[in-house]
Amino acid sequence: MADDCDDVCHDDNRDDCRDERQPVLRARGVTRTYHDGNQDIRVLDSVDLEVSAGEKLAITGESGSGKSTFLHLAAGMDLPDAGTMELLGEHVNRLAEPERTRFRARHIGLVFQDYNLIESLSAGENIELVGWLTGRPASVDDIRRLAAELGIDELLGRRPDQLSGGQQQRVAIARALIHQPSLVLADEPTGSLDQASAEQVMQVLSQSVDARGCALVLVTHSETAAARCDRRVRLRAGKLEAT
Amino acid sequence: MLARLSRAFFYRHPAQVLLALIGIAAGVAVVTGVALLRGALVESLDAVSAELVGEQALVVRHPSGRLDVDTYARLVRQPGAPDFVPVLRAAVRSDGQRLEVVGVDPFSGIRTLTGADGTGLSTALFNESGGIPSAVVSASTLELLDSGLDSVLTLDESGRQVRVTAVIRGRPGLDRRLLMDISRAQAMLDERGWVSELLAPPESEAWLRANLGDELLLVTASGQRASARQLTAGMRANLTAMSLLALATGLFVVYSVLSFLMVQRRRTFGLLRALGMTHGRLARLLIGEVLVIAAFGALAGLVASTVLSDQLLRLIAAPVAEVYGQLPPAATNPTPWLYAGIWLAALAAAVAVTVPVMREALQIPPGRLVRSFVVHVLPARKVLALTVLLVTSGAAWVALDARLVAALGGLFLVLAGVIVAIPMIGFGLVRGLARRTATTLPGRALRLLETARGRLSPALAALSLALALAIGMGMMILGFRAAVGDWVTRLLQADMYVSLESRSLAREQVDRLASLEGVEAFSSVRRTRLADGTTLTAYDLPARAWSGFELLGEAPEAYRQFSAGDAVLVSEPLARRQGLAIGDIVELPTPEGPARVPIAAVFRDYSSEQGFVAVSGDLYRRWFDDHAVDSVGLYLADGMTPAELGRRIEGLALGGVAQWITPAGIRRESLAVFDRTFRVSWALAMLVGLIALVALTSALLAQGLERSREHATLRALGLSPARLFGLVTVQSAGLTAVALATALPLAVLIHYALSLLIQPRAFGWSLPAGLPPAEPVLWVVPVALVLGTLTGLYPAWRIGRRPMIEHLRAGR
Ligand SMILES: Nc1ncnc2c1ncn2[C@@H]1O[C@H](COP(=O)(O)OP(=O)(O)OP(=O)(O)O)[C@@H](O)[C@H]1O
Ligand SMILES: [Mg+2]
């Protein structure tokens, strides 16, 4: 276990010394341009945004407006062409790739639009995976408790292909929450679910986030999902506008 | 529209398509190459006559092997006589190398020989300076002797010399031959008035048939080909066996690559079927794809084999000319029919190997295909049942049918059975390893590897088989080489062997050798070909030389019966060919009519594929009244050395040129011949190694590239690039290690199958059972591990290079 730990653990105590009132996420002038042949598509054009601890923010916008792009930038999975992305006071785009990855593993929980569960691992193993990556394996009890909270404690032994879409998404949410992140980034977590499942998933997501006091950035098309959030912004023509 | 679907997929996975192409091309190349080579071997002709007079040359010989000039003159004087080319041939030795003097009349109708510089060679044969006769040799012979133009070669211990006055290039049939003017050769060899054979142009066949009389033998080109066919039968069978093994491996690699192409797209297939594409259309689409890949791959293989086979032919021309005295044609003779046949067969084979994969894509309900990335594997019980069925039926076939075909077919069945079980065993190993290291990065990496079992199974099996074949073939060749070395060492009990070049030793000469001071005992050998084609070898052996025969099976009475002349021995190849065993009666044509004698024992022998009958010297002389011998083995008293005795033998003036050699020299020469003969086998083993490489690359690319989305997810969840690199490295090294671990026992199995089944049925000789040589393992294991790890790094590098977002998006 020791060898898993050492490259992850040295930023362990940062959380404690952070200023509580400091925003969890602060985007300043974030710009992202894709090059398509000789044509430049400016998907994000100098976007500013702040999300504070415990806050739940919904981002809406038309398909192709750049919501996922913004989320990827926020997670440090992609880098802006201009502007800064601050997470917990850390300029993620100034970190070197390994540090950025460690930072993400430690502080961010990701829920993908299409679950992205590792197909060959069981549901339980998918949840365990993050603990292994961060070098802080979650205890069996923690996993069981979280799974029970999400209503999937009976399904931990199953492979993703043996689960329904809603069940898979709940496994993905468990995976995003198990390591107690400060910020959960969820990209249309209910996008591929029916009304009832979507409702259920949103409920457990917002409850879990509330219970842990972490911030949530939720990309969604759904009115009901957005309604569960404290604040809503809309992406249009590369700019964020409050609604 | 559908074609676009295929095309788009292929464009996105060029590496996999390339591997499939290479797999097919390699398989086709090996089979075509060997088919061409076999054809060439069948067309082999007596090396010297083919080079001197042409492929259709007729050869006139006397049964005794020598023809006196009077007989020749009588023939030439008859009306209508053709242009004969009298040739004198004699075995000599220079610088430890076995050579043949070929004396010809440069003005009789021989093919124009041109030197390396393009000038004619006739004059070079005549220019004699300082009393040293001149000789013309091929460039490779000169290289062999490590000398140059104008150098003087010393022949045997007699001190006779020839000067190299010109060099011929190419002409493998003239390798190891010293081409001389016939009259100078006769003078030098003390053979005045004798020639070995007469060559004649093909047009003269009718005349020769009418005028040769009973005394002389006429050998036609087709007769020569028939004997070449017989001589090279073992070699051809062996080539075929090896090439089929290589082909099977190639096909299996193709299977694993194509099945991977299918598995990767299960989801797409599920979608297409869900969208309403019928089985038939999907099957047509897939078959169309496979056909396109196979068509191009096979074409590349045909082109490669055309180049390859001429290279291989050059490789075997020298040993074939040397071992069998036969010369394969200079180039292979590909026909459009052969090419078209192999091309079509390759297409059919490619479609056949994809059928099982396709069936899966077609039979599983589309809903499950769309949802599931997990390929289901056969349950262990079924795997075991299949393995047991295949292995027992293969073993039964081998046991019940004594033909080579059965050995090959049985081996294929057994291999198939083992291959079916390999993924189960291999991934069992992975699971065990992963358990032991569960909480470490390697442990996790292996656990992830194990979960991809369904998709990696064919690749692992292909890799394991290819590695096993490369190692097993290497083991067999080295094991065989060691066996030949041991056999020669055991056989040669005397301290030195003496013979007269190009003629036999008369009894009186043997007595003089035996009575030399320092000679304690002697043995002698006489070899004859009987009227029915059997080779008979007569031995006079002192009691202690008897251990030179390695008897197969129990025969305690053999020595007594043999030396008393009550029974004969037969060599293993003859026993196998004719189904002879101890106690059977052989019938031998002798001047006194057919003699019927029992077989006292069967002995190991690697000197002749046809095999021979061994009789005691006394019995032989009683039958044939021939008191000459071909060579004498001398057992020296303490303190006497072969070199010292060699000098005394030279002083004996035996009336011919005596040559002597020590057992160590013979052993060295035999192994050199072995190495040259087995060059082709090595080449094939290398090819299988190459196929193993393709299998390795495909397996690792399969496991690495295909999981890029999974790896990107891990990265997104917080696995650093360095640790992802570590993870992928552990996975590729782990997969390679597991393939090696399963390949090693399989390699040993292949080694024993080739040594104890295929060799005996192809050549007639068996190899003593013993531990397989370790060298191939020492070579292959590190190379595979290093290459495997390196190949595995490519996908990791690719993931690192491309933004992970793209990988995540790409998976959808
Ligand atoms: N690698 C790329 N190259 C070029 N254009 C890209 C690339 N990735 C995304 N885009 C474009 O950027 C725009 C924003 O994409 P993004 O995925 O962020 O949209 P989105 O708002 O998440 O849409 P949706 O609601 O459909 O998920 C789209 O127009 C898309 O075509
Ligand atoms: Mg999106």
Complete domains list, chain A, with CATH = 3-242 (3.40.50.300)
Of A78, A105, A121, the CB nearest to B451: A121
Q: Which ligand is in closest contact with the Cα of B809?
A: 1
Distance CA B110, CA B115 (A): 15
Mean pLDDT over B508-536 rounds to 86
Sequence-distant (6+) residues with CB within 8 A of B749 are: B414, B418, B468, B472
Percent of chain B with pLDDT over 90: 13
Chain B interface includes A119 (CB < 8 A):
yes
Torsion of CA B501, B504, B506, B512, to 10 degrees: 40
Mean pLDDT score across all residues of chain B: 81
Length of chain A: 243
First-to-last C-alpha distance (Å) of chain B: 20
Mean pLDDT: which of A16-30, B1-15, B729-743, B785-799 is highest? Answer: B729-743
Q: Is the dihedral of CA A118, A124, A127, A129 positive or negative?
A: negative
CB B216 within 8 A of CB B231: no
CB B454 within 8 A of CB B259: no
Note whether B374 contacts A175, CB cutoff 8 Å: no
Least confident of B108-117, B283-292, B508-517, B570-579: B108-117
Chain A CB contacts of B440 below 8 Å: 1, 3-4
Of the candidates B170, B193, B167, B192, the one whose C-alpha atom is nearest the C-alpha of residue B179 is: B167
Which CB contacts under 8 angstroms, 24+ apart, belong to A29-37?
A: A29/A82, A29/A83, A29/A84, A30/A70, A30/A73, A30/A80, A30/A82, A30/A83, A30/A84, A30/A85, A31/A80, A31/A81, A31/A82, A31/A83, A32/A66, A32/A69, A32/A70, A32/A73, A32/A78, A32/A80, A32/A81, A33/A81
Query: Angle at Cα B182 formed by Cα B180 and Cα B185, nearest 5°?
Result: 70
Position B679 pLDDT exceeds 80: no
Alpha helices in B579-707 (DSSP H): 617-624, 642-650, 663-677, 679-705
Question: Which protein residues touch ligand 1 with a CB less than 6 Å away?
Answer: A 34, 36, 41, 43, 61, 63-69
| pLDDT confidence of residue B584 | 93
Distance CA B714, CA A19 (A): 30
Residue B558 has a CB neighbour count (10 Å cut-off) of: 21
Mean pLDDT score across all residues of chain A: 83
Using a 10 angstrom Cβ sphere, with 0-12 exposed, 13-18 middle and 19 or more buried, the burial of residue B647 is exposed
Mean pLDDT over A96-122 rounds to 81
Distance CA B433, CA B442 (A): 9
- Identity (one letter) of the amino acid at A118? I
| pLDDT confidence of residue B5 | 64
Of the residues A120, A162, A178, the best mutation for testing chain B's interface (the one with the most B CB atoms within 10 Å of its CB) is A120
Q: What is the pLDDT of residues B329-370, one digit of tens each?
A: 766 777 888 889 889 988 888 888 777 777 766 766 555 555
Chain B interface includes A139 (CB < 8 A):
no
Reported ipTM: the value is 0.72
What are the strands, taking DSSP E only, across B204-262?
A: 217-219
Mean pLDDT: which of A48-57, B191-200, B768-777 is highest? Answer: A48-57
Length of chain B: 812
Position B113 pLDDT exceeds 70: no
Mean pLDDT: which of B39-53, B353-367, B373-387, B505-519 is highest? Answer: B505-519
> Which tokens go with B12?
């996105």
pLDDT range class, residue B571, cuts 50, 70, 90: very high
Of the candidates A117, A24, A116, the one whose C-alpha atom is nearest the C-alpha of residue A68 is: A116
> Which tokens go with B322?
């040397």
Residue B438 has a CB neighbour count (10 Å cut-off) of: 13
pLDDT range class, residue A13, cuts 50, 70, 90: very low
- Which of A33, A36, A47, A69 best tests ligand 1's pocket when mutated (most atoms within 8 Å of CB)? A69
Note whether B713 contacts A106, CB cutoff 8 Å: no
* DSSP letter assigned to residue B110: P
Using a 10 angstrom Cβ sphere, with 0-12 exposed, 13-18 middle and 19 or more buried, the burial of residue B448 is buried
Note whether B803 contacts A78, CB cutoff 8 Å: yes
Segments making up each domain of chain B, as ranges: 1-45+232-373, 48-230, 378-490+670-812, 496-661
Alpha helices in A51-158 (DSSP H): 67-74, 97-107, 123-134, 140-150
> Which tokens go with B284?
């047509």
Distance CA B309, CA B332 (A): 7
| pLDDT confidence of residue A12 | 41
Alpha helices in A37-95 (DSSP H): 67-74
Of B451, B721, B805, the CB nearest to A120: B451
pLDDT range class, residue B812, cuts 50, 70, 90: very low
Query: Angle at Cα B238 formed by Cα B680 and Cα B49, nearest 5°?
Result: 65
SS3 B105: coil
Distance CA B541, CA B731 (A): 64
- Which of A35, A38, A40, A43 best tests ligand 1's pocket when mutated (most atoms within 8 Å of CB)? A43
Torsion of CA A189, A191, A194, A199, to 10 degrees: 40
Sequence-distant (6+) residues with CB within 8 A of B382 are: none
Q: What is the pLDDT of residues B134-188, one digit of tens each?
A: 888 888 788 878 888 888 888 865 678 888 888 887 677 777 888 888 888 888 8
Distance CA B116, CA B167 (A): 6
| pLDDT confidence of residue A11 | 42
**Quick one: which H or E segment has residue B743?**
helix B721-753
Of B368, B722, B804, the CB nearest to A98: B722
| pLDDT confidence of residue A1 | 36
pLDDT range class, residue A7, cuts 50, 70, 90: very low
Mean pLDDT over B308-337 rounds to 73
Please tell me whether the overall predicted TM-score, pTM, comes out greater than 0.80 for this model: no
Q: What does A136-173 look like in DSSP terms, one character per residue?
A: -PPPHHHHHHHHHHHT-TT-TTS-GGGS-HHHHHHHHH
Distance from residue A65's CA to the centre of ligand 1 (Å): 7
Query: Angle at Cα B572 formed by Cα B568 and Cα B573, nearest 5°?
Result: 115
Q: What are phi and psi of A115, to 5 degrees?
A: 65, -50
| pLDDT confidence of residue A18 | 43
More confident call, B6 vs B411:
B411
First-to-last C-alpha distance (Å) of chain A: 48
Query: Angle at Cα B621 formed by Cα B616 and Cα B623, nearest 5°?
Result: 100
Chain A interface includes B720 (CB < 8 A):
yes
CB A47 within 8 A of CB A240: yes
| pLDDT confidence of residue B613 | 94
Sequence-distant (6+) residues with CB within 8 A of B139 are: B116, B167, B168, B169
Q: What does the H/E/C string look like for B145-170? A: HCCCCCCEEEECCCCEEEEEEEEECC
Mean pLDDT over B727-750 rounds to 90
Q: What is the pLDDT of residues B208-255, one digit of tens each?
A: 888 887 778 888 878 777 777 776 777 777 777 777 777 777 777 777
> Which tokens go with B578?
């004719």
Chain A CB contacts of B375 below 8 Å: none
Q: What is the pLDDT of residues B461-503, one digit of tens each?
A: 888 888 898 899 889 888 888 888 888 888 888 888 888 766 7
More confident call, B367 vs B61:
B61
pLDDT range class, residue A83, cuts 50, 70, 90: very high
| pLDDT confidence of residue B60 | 87
Q: What does B329-355 look like in DSSP terms, one character per residue?
A: -SS----HHHHHHHHHHHHHHHHHHHH
Distance CA B152, CA B420 (A): 63
Distance CA B217, CA B154 (A): 34
Query: Angle at Cα B411 formed by Cα B290 and Cα B746, nearest 5°?
Result: 90
CB B620 within 8 A of CB B526: yes
Chain B CB contacts of A77 below 8 Å: 715-716, 804-805
Q: What is the pLDDT of residues B385-425, one digit of tens each?
A: 999 999 999 999 999 988 888 888 899 899 989 988 999 99
Residue A243 has a CB neighbour count (10 Å cut-off) of: 9
> Which tokens go with B768?
């003593």
User: What is the longest distance spanned by two Cα atoms in chain B?
Assistant: 100
| pLDDT confidence of residue B523 | 92
Mean pLDDT over A16-43 rounds to 79
Write down the residue that tokens 């008369």 correspond to: B506
Q: What is the pLDDT of residues B574-632, one digit of tens each?
A: 998 888 999 999 998 888 888 999 999 999 988 887 889 999 999 999 988 888 888 89
Of the candidates B778, B215, B206, the one whose C-alpha atom is nearest the C-alpha of residue B474 is: B778
pLDDT range class, residue B267, cuts 50, 70, 90: low
Q: How many helices (H) and strands (E) does chain A have?
A: 9, 10
| pLDDT confidence of residue B275 | 64
**Quick one: which H or E segment has residue B267?**
helix B266-274
| pLDDT confidence of residue A56 | 93
Distance from residue B387's CA to the centre of ligand 1 (Å): 51
Position B316 pLDDT exceeds 90: no
Alpha helices in B492-609 (DSSP H): 507-514, 558-563, 572-578
Kindly report the protein residue whose alpha carbon is nearest to atom 22 of ligand 1. A68
Query: Angle at Cα B375 formed by Cα B371 and Cα B381, nearest 5°?
Result: 135
